Amino acid sequence: MDLNLLKALDALLDERNVTRAAERLALPQPAMNVMLTRLRESFGDQLFVRSQRGIVPTLRALELAAPVKQVLGDVQILLEPPAFDPALANLALTIASTDYALQAVLVPFLAALRPRAPGIRIAVIPAQSQQLERGEVDLALLTPENTPAELRTRRLFDERYVCLIRSDHPAAAAKRLSLDYFCALEHAVVSHAGSNFMGVTDEALAKLGRARRVALSVNSYLVLPDILRESDMIAVIPRRLALNAEGLSMLEPPLDIPGFATNAVWHQRTHHDPGQRWIRALLFETSDALP
């Protein structure tokens, strides 16, 4: 049964007039006459007989009136997006993130999420390739170069690098580091492999014909503050990670170091889900509020 036929039957039962029923459905009257013929064939009944004031439903048509309205109402509910109340929501979401995005993006997001949606559970896993395509995660925090072109994307912010050093270090008193002093200091770098002593800073220095002294390579930004507080080393890190580092001072690097962007990425299959749309909107809101 064509759903449009049920809509036509409902309009005819309400209007008891072919012309008015056609106008209600924005159809020409000949099209409504064709639909009435199809209805009669489908139900094996005249359904309506003509009278001086329009049309009169048969007993069969009157029997169909309530069930037809029920079916149309149920279909309308199916077509409408379900209402989402974050305060009552009970769902789990998996987010793929680097340790940088975990601290810079997810910490403020989770702080905003808990009081608004206490029933939403978040699982954070390391970011890897093809997680979204395989349906393993609902949302990923990636750099643009690691974002597959076929996925939904929203740029969260652009990040830049700063220097972080112990607050009572002699260099911390300087308003600006000289390039010579910067290169002479011992540096700690972050490499996800944990064994690479080169990074974007070294590439920028190489263009100036300079090099720095890299004494330590670790595989996570999260351990760096503890290391810097207990040593004379300096680190070049994303600015958002340096904002709330206790016992450490933030300085501008003495050379231009290319920054990076962070994207929120999700699959088309979750794009219209009301719960995930609300969660993404909150993530965007908290990211936009970052200093």
pLDDT tens-digit readout, 35-92: 999 999 999 999 999 888 889 999 999 999 999 998 988 887 777 767 789 999 999 9
pLDDT tens-digit readout, 177-190: 999 999 999 999 99
pLDDT score at 244: 82
pLDDT tens-digit readout, 4-25: 899 999 999 999 999 999 999 9
pLDDT score at 195: 67
**Taking a C-beta distance cutoff of 8 angstroms, is the pair 161, 237 a contact?**
yes
**Res 256 pLDDT > 70:** yes
Which of 165, 153, 133 lies closest to 232, judged by CA? 165
Residue 82 Cα distances to 85, 201, 253, 273, 288, angstroms: 10, 49, 51, 9, 27
pLDDT score at 209: 96
pLDDT confidence bin for 129, thresholds 50/70/90: confident
**Taking a C-beta distance cutoff of 8 angstroms, is the pair 229, 149 a contact?**
no
pLDDT confidence bin for 241, thresholds 50/70/90: very high
Q: What is this structure's pTM?
A: 0.70
pLDDT tens-digit readout, 146-157: 888 889 999 999
pLDDT score at 81: 67
pLDDT tens-digit readout, 221-238: 888 999 999 999 999 999
C-alpha–C-alpha distance, residues 144 and 258, integer Å: 14
pLDDT score at 3: 87
pLDDT score at 194: 60
- Domains of the chain in start order, with CATH, are 3-79 (1.10.10.10), 91-159+261-288 (3.40.190.10), 161-258 (3.40.190.10)
